[in-house]
A and B are shown apart, each in its own frame.
Chain A
Amino acid sequence: MFAPFHEALADPPGRLSLLRRRSGRPLIGVAPAYFPPEWVHAAGGLPVAFWGAALPVARADALLPPYCCPVARSILEMELAGRTAELAGWVFTSLCDTLVNLREIFRRLSSRPTLVFPIPLATDPFARRRRLAELIPAAFEDLGRLTGSAATGASLASASRLYGEIRNLQRRLYSLRRSRPGLIGVRNFYAALRAGFFMEPEEYRGRLADLLSRLEAAPEPPAGRRPRLFLSGMVVPPDEVLGLLEHLGLDPADDDFANGGRMISRPVFDPQDPAGSLEAAIFGGTPCCCLHVPGTDRAAVFPRLVREAGAGGVLLLPVRCCEPDAFERPAIGAGLAAAGIPALTMEMDCESLPLESLRTRLEAFRELLEESGP
């Protein structure tokens, strides 16, 4: 059932080559985060989202210091190693200081065009809204330069519909995981989610719809007490870590990964209300550590998210050297402690994962959750 999703993630360079041949569209690499993929599709391109990879970094060391996050370092490593050679261009947002400068590094590496979408952080809501309204036409103009063709009203409406349907299917997948514990394996779940970054959207929609029909019709999984977790972090952790959770019988009920729960909680772009819907697509939904949303305190919201998910504990999986996330961690930890929710923090360094030590800590955490009971 899940094989096509795993297949899509298995060999990124091979996949890119296949996608380019099959789709006939220029492939556009999308760096984290919140750039609407439907815009790329509407402009005739095929968005391929990169969220970092678990690989040894060698070439990127010459350009990025070790105190940069492994997401940025691994994306640059892939670029320098020629693993992204099939891309016609790159899209960046101003999500954090590292990504702002990473775009500048990419610009100097090759003549391939890059686009940057500066996410406004103004407290003043009018300034923010006006700025977004200004940025939209500029972004489409730049996208046209990347893809070689311009988006039209019709192509944008169609792409927004397509990606809106995908978003709804992904929400169904999340809902199913929450309501039927044990039905979907941890690795399978995230493969089904992340494969969308490396598939043609039409194919992905079809496969996801088919998967959901089969899962919804599947018999109930065997009953048994498995500790339910809320996973939190900037990006879905590497497959090895997901495998560990599965192996140890730890069952994620929900997450707030920027390429997971945060993404699916946001609406897609609506061409009928460009600035308003873009604002919702970036700032709405589950709070993100990289954004400033006046009146929203992620640390205060967090315990509610955990309770709503029905999770008995939280696994915080911050990416090493991710400053925005690190700034919020003490407040989130304090909020969880005050709410009596057990939490375990395990820093994720995709360049070197100490799996045995992670396993020991997870086992101890599982015991703690089992003792505290539902």
Chain B
Amino acid sequence: MTRLASFARMKELMTGYYLEAKTTREKPVIWLTSGAPVEYVYAAGALPVYPENYAAMCAASHQAPPLLEAAEAQGYSPDICAYARTDFGQDLLRGGPAGGLPPPQALVCATNICRTVVKWFEAVARKNRAPLFVVDMPFLHDGLTREALNYVLGQFRALEGFLAAQTGSAFDRERLLATVSLSREATGLWRKTLDLARHRPSPITALDAFVHIAPIVTLRGTPQCRDYYRELHREVADRVVRGEGAIPRERYRVLWDNLPIWHRMRWFETFFAERGLTLAAATYPNSWAAIDPPPGFQADDPLEALAVSYLNLYIHFGFTQRIDYLERLIEEFALTGFIMHSNRSCKPYSVGMYGLREELSRRTGLPGVVIEADQNDPRQFTEARTVTALEAFLEAMKPIDG
């Protein structure tokens, strides 16, 4: 990626986090999905562990293939999410950069990213004989509703009791509010950092954002997370002041939709940089950047605001809202085209994408391309096919000031 100095700090932070996760004796380890309300877990004094984050690390460090194969040898179909298969594999082989994850004492999953996580976490809960708490977040076919919000808030209250049972001590509401406040600061800073990509040339690309996403996923609600994003924001803002772009000569400014292809990050970086293409915006990192809630849902109450932020996610939107959002990003970031990753592992993101591509092109007059791959499984990536699709896309795209 473009070498942001903060990368070293992030590495240090994440190493410390995984070290604690692997060695803690005092804190109960709770496995979480990336869209679950981690603030409750930190407030309960437990340690959250994210198999999604770990799976991505395995793929980015090219350690996923043997883990995928180990899971498949156990009978898990290649049709299921590759994050889940990577996780099952790390458990079998104690593999990946941290030598495997600590087993969960309990699990919390939320359906705002997909319903697949329920099945995945059920399997882990069964294996470890650990209790599972599902926070159900209704899909927003027609936008956020008061009923959906109240439903989620009710489950948040029940989650307090679940966590208290795991830690053996009463749930501390004051501590929760302090954690939520730290979390909001961090997500605010993350959003401000991503928004700096509106500048031309863009000081940061989505590929940077994918890498620097790790703390906002795993550590939001901690002071270290807030401090890290202060530092990152400062560094990226300095680039803006200096007029420094993330790549040497920015000719195209493009949106990336869906998760990254973790096992091909370096390849994409080179391919795009050589052609002057900056991924100036992406939907995935915005999942932790508090998308503006609809009118009537700007809550003063911090827990209600928290529930709104967990419900109001791009992949949790109906298609009308999704396409409006994509169009807005294209306009606000002055983009010249868009790339959609049809990701075999992520159906909520990918099912319906072909139609969205056409509609978005029609609305914006910009070219868009769908590339077929998988976030974690390199066997689903065909380099020649991807190059052909991207080259055709570049040919159809008008460069900035072109």
Contacts and interface: CB of A to CB of B under 8 A. Distances in A.
A in complex with B = yes
Interface stretch (B32-40, B48-56, B206-214, B344-352): B344-352
A329 B151 contact: no
B301 interface: no
B6 interface: no
Contacts of B372: 65
B158 A127 contact: yes
B64 to A, nearest CB: 18
The DSSP consensus for interface residues of chain A is: helix
Contacts of A64: 351-352, 354
Interface in A66-102: 67-68, 72, 94, 96-98, 100-102
B80 A292 contact: no
A334 B74 CA distance: 10
B266 interface: no
Interface in A20-40: none
Interface string B132-151: 11111011010000010001
Contacts of B81: 323
B123 interface: yes
Q: Which of A96, A98, A101, A128 has the most CB of B within 10 A?
A: A101
Interface string A167-179: 0000000000000
Contact of A326 (B80, B118, B133, B344): B80
Given A98-B351, A105-B352, A323-B80, A330 B158 contact: no
A307 interface: no
Nearest to B354: A63
B7 interface: no
B120 interface: yes
A325 B81 CA distance: 13
Given A62-B354, A94-B139, A330 B74 contact: yes
B381 interface: no
Contacts of A294: 132, 134
Contact of B141 (A116, A124, A322, A334): A116
B351 A324 contact: no
A299 interface: yes
User: Interface size class for chain B?
Assistant: 35 or more
B14 to A, nearest CB: 28
B79 A67 contact: yes
A32 B209 CA distance: 38
A131 B354 contact: no
B1 to A, nearest CB: 29
B154 A98 contact: no
A130 B154 contact: yes
Contacts of B123: 327-328, 330-331
Contacts of B155: 122-124, 127
B119 A331 contact: no
Nearest to B345: A67
B272 interface: no
A192 interface: no
B351 A68 contact: yes
B319 A108 contact: yes
A240 B272 CA distance: 50
A124 B347 contact: no
Given A94-B139, A292-B134, A126 B158 contact: yes
A68 B79 CA distance: 9
A118 interface: yes
B122 interface: yes
B350 A65 contact: yes
Contacts of B118: 121, 292
Nearest to B319: A104
A333 B115 contact: no
A134 B132 CA distance: 25
A180 to B, nearest CB: 35
Interface in B84-129: 84, 111, 114-116, 118-120, 122-123, 126
B173 to A, nearest CB: 18
A211 interface: no
B364 interface: no
B141 A297 contact: no
A126 B162 CA distance: 14
B352 A289 contact: no
Contact of A96 (B75, B115, B135, B319): B115
A320 interface: yes
B154 A299 contact: no
Nearest to A327: B119
Interface in A327-369: 327-331, 333-334
Interface in B330-366: 342, 344, 347-348, 350-355, 359
B77 interface: yes
B302 interface: no
A162 interface: no
Interface in A99-122: 100-105, 107-108, 116, 118, 120-122
Contact of B347 (A289, A323, A334): A323
Nearest to A322: B79
A310 B333 CA distance: 64
Contacts of B122: 292, 327-328
Contacts of A105: 319, 351-352, 355
A321 interface: yes
Contacts of A97: 114-116, 347-348, 351
A333 B123 CA distance: 13
Given A326-B79, A330-B76, A120 B136 contact: yes
Contact of A121 (B79, B136, B318, B354): B136
B116 A65 contact: no
Nearest to B88: A330
Q: Which of A62, A299, A326, A328 has the most CB of B within 10 A?
A: A326
Given A130-B151, A289-B119, A331-B126, A118 B350 contact: no
Contacts of A122: 134-136, 151, 155
Contacts of B352: 63-64, 101-102, 104-105
Q: Which of B123, B126, B134, B136 has the most CB of A within 10 A?
A: B136
30 contacts: A62-B354, A65-B350, A67-B347, A94-B138, A97-B114, A97-B115, A97-B347, A97-B348, A98-B351, A100-B115, A105-B355, A107-B319, A108-B319, A108-B359, A120-B136, A121-B134, A123-B133, A123-B162, A124-B155, A124-B158, A130-B151, A130-B154, A290-B115, A292-B122, A323-B119, A324-B119, A326-B76, A327-B120, A329-B77, A331-B123
Interface of A: 62-65, 67-68, 72, 94, 96-98, 100-105, 107-108, 116, 118, 120-124, 126-128, 130-131, 134, 289-290, 292, 294, 297, 299, 318, 320-324, 326-331, 333-334
